[in-house]
Amino acid sequence: MTSLSGVWAASLTPLTSDLTPDPGRLVEHVGRLFLDGCDGIVLFGTTGEATSFSVGERIALLDGLMAGGIDPGRVIVGVGCAAAVDTVELTRSADAHGVAAVLMLPPFYYKAVTDDDLAEAYGWIFGQIGPEAPPVLLYNIPQVSGVRVSANLAGRLFGDHPDVVAGIKDSSGDLQSLRGFLAAMPGAAVFAGTELLLVPGLDEGAVGTISAAANVNAVDIRRAFESRAPADMEILVEARARLSAQALIPALKSIVAERLGDPGWAAVRPPLRTLPTPVGSALASALSSA
Amino acid sequence: MTSLSGVWAASLTPLTSDLTPDPGRLVEHVGRLFLDGCDGIVLFGTTGEATSFSVGERIALLDGLMAGGIDPGRVIVGVGCAAAVDTVELTRSADAHGVAAVLMLPPFYYKAVTDDDLAEAYGWIFGQIGPEAPPVLLYNIPQVSGVRVSANLAGRLFGDHPDVVAGIKDSSGDLQSLRGFLAAMPGAAVFAGTELLLVPGLDEGAVGTISAAANVNAVDIRRAFESRAPADMEILVEARARLSAQALIPALKSIVAERLGDPGWAAVRPPLRTLPTPVGSALASALSSA
């Protein structure tokens, strides 16, 4: 099994013309990401519009990805839902395929929840999925989910469930936050949730990055991972700046669409909106000239 | 069919000992709420822990409620999910039972969404459910969902989809917000999402309230609805103050449990936590002495 480290892409989820997940386009995309230097991919993170799909659609797309010959040891599956029972069902499906790990948001509808509430909720889920479940990466992305996984909570879960919790993806975008997890979970697989903290994170003990931008920029991220050179990090910062005028997920999809000459790739699910083709073209050429 | 007005309870969702929805306890609870003066109930609002259940569990509980003989014309069903496809499936299930209306959160995972994004998302859902769907009440509860339904958005949806959008439940708890919806949606069924704004809301044109506290306090809310007297409103304010030391949903469930002598009624799903029995006892007696 690939170890939980290195450069992982938070994969986009391509859609068919009726907005259902498209396993064919996904298998090809993941193959390209591996060629471009990704150690693995996360299926159904925030970038993958995970929460815009039904549980059945998510299970079917993972089945399709596996049927397409992708190595499950190079796949982490996002499983965190508003309903803990759905998280359990998705984790069992991921387990059946022998994936590298699952990425688990806390239940995210109720906002006035405490660390005690979330510790009990995660504990309930872990009890349901049992001890042979795939390793669990906690998922902190409070600016989107609205529910923070604090360093205190992560450290407590890592201590209380050492055979279950393997690490965390910290997508807060904040180096101080990443440091908090590194301190609270010594020896855990702590991933920077953005390539913009790749080298600073590695320097302090993070194992790598799970990156949205890797969908369109994996070669450069791989290079920075290997070199740890400031000049290579600067290239990543510049590339991200060229993306930032648009909502990130539609922008990334439109760039892939433009590069492949496959306009259907640009489609997103509500509540996101697909970018007009000319915007995607401009983004793709801006990124290429970075 | 009961008109969309008056006093509606945002019903709690009782659970069995394995934390699955309990149709037997629910049917009895709804019967009591009707006896206490509620015009109807909302199944699967925020108070009903809607987002803590799978789509299958939600459909099964509505089936169970209908099988228990509850008049569908006195039931509004919450259907809004993070995934618009799940919202469509739940709306179809509610439609099959001929319920009074559905209560529809916007897709709530992504937070940096605009009114244009949400107008398109609601429009996509309305297109999928078709023109014969039950009337739709929009659902604004930004402090929990993290996604605001603005007055501008509500007015636009009411204008663009007059055969679909019947009104809104505004659970912001803010009279100014309620006024905004009344101004933006003339003639719509605008519900105050808390009994604390019942009489102020009625005075400005709201049709009634959909209230969490009605689970334990319906008689008093009914009285205030009929009298519109300041003294009767003051009773509601005092009752709510006695509830406010604890998380509202576990508190309401524990009060029902105490009154019925049925400790199992107090159970909540993660990420909420069940209150210890003595806390429920104290809450119930505090409320009774109000």
A54–B51: do the CB atoms touch at under 8 Å? Answer: no
A110–B271: do the CB atoms touch at under 8 Å? Answer: yes
Per CB-CB distance under 8 Å, the chain A contacts of B107 are 51-52, 270-271
pLDDT score recorded for residue B131: 78
Hey, what are A79's tokens? 């499983």
Using a CB–CB cut-off of 8 Å, the residues of A that contact B are 46, 51-55, 57, 81-86, 89, 106-113, 116-118, 120-121, 124-125, 143-146, 247, 269-273
Mutate to test the interface with A, among B54, B104, B249 (most CBs of A within 10 A): B54
- Using CB atoms, pick whichever of A51, A84, A118 lies closest to residue B82: A51
Strand ranges for B111-160 from DSSP E: 136-140
pLDDT tens for chain A, residues 1 to 290: 458 999 999 999 999 999 999 999 999 999 999 999 999 999 999 999 999 999 999 999 999 999 999 999 999 999 999 999 999 999 999 999 999 999 999 999 999 899 999 999 999 999 999 878 899 999 999 999 999 999 999 999 999 999 999 999 999 999 999 999 999 999 999 999 999 999 999 999 999 999 999 999 999 999 999 999 999 999 999 999 988 777 999 999 999 999 999 999 999 999 999 999 888 888 888 888 65
Rounded distance between C-alpha atoms, residue B177 and residue B198, angstroms: 14
pLDDT score recorded for residue B289: 65
Hey, what are B41's tokens? 């109930």
Whose CA is closest to B271, among A35, A149, A259, A89? A149
Phi, psi (degrees; rounded to nearest 5) at A39: -70, -30
- The sign of the CA dihedral A150, A153, A155, A161 is negative
Question: What is the end-to-end Cα distance of chain A in Å, rounded?
Answer: 35
- Spell out the domains of chain A, with CATH numbers in brackets: 6-228 (3.20.20.70)
ipTM > 0.85 for the complex:
yes
pLDDT score recorded for residue A286: 86
Per CB-CB distance under 8 Å, the chain B contacts of A143 are 111
Length of chain B as a residue count: 290
Rounded distance between C-alpha atoms, residue A5 and residue A1, angstroms: 11
How far, CA to CA in Å, does A71 sit from each of A2, A30, A39, A53, A221?
10, 10, 11, 23, 21
Mutate to test the interface with A, among B13, B44, B52 (most CBs of A within 10 A): B52
* Omega of the bond leading into B230 within 30 degrees of 0 (cis): no
Phi, psi (degrees; rounded to nearest 5) at B206: -65, 155
B113–A271: do the CB atoms touch at under 8 Å? Answer: yes
pLDDT score recorded for residue A2: 57
- With 0-12 CB in 10 A as exposed, 13-18 as middle and 19+ as buried, what is B83? buried
Rounded distance between C-alpha atoms, residue A114 and residue B141, angstroms: 20
pLDDT score recorded for residue A1: 44
Angle at B101 between CA B99 and CA B103, to 5 degrees: 125
Q: Over the stretch B89-126, which tens digit does the pLDDT of each residue have? A: 999 999 999 999 999 999 999 998 999 999 999 999 99
Instruction: Determine the residue of chain B that is closest to A248 in CA distance.
Output: B112
- Please, what is the angle between helix A248-260 and helix A214-227, to 10°? 100
Which residue type sits at A258?
A: E
Instruction: Determine the residue of chain B that is closest to A80 in CA distance.
Output: B109
Could you say which residues of chain B have pLDDT below 70? Answer: 1-2, 289-290
pLDDT score recorded for residue B132: 81
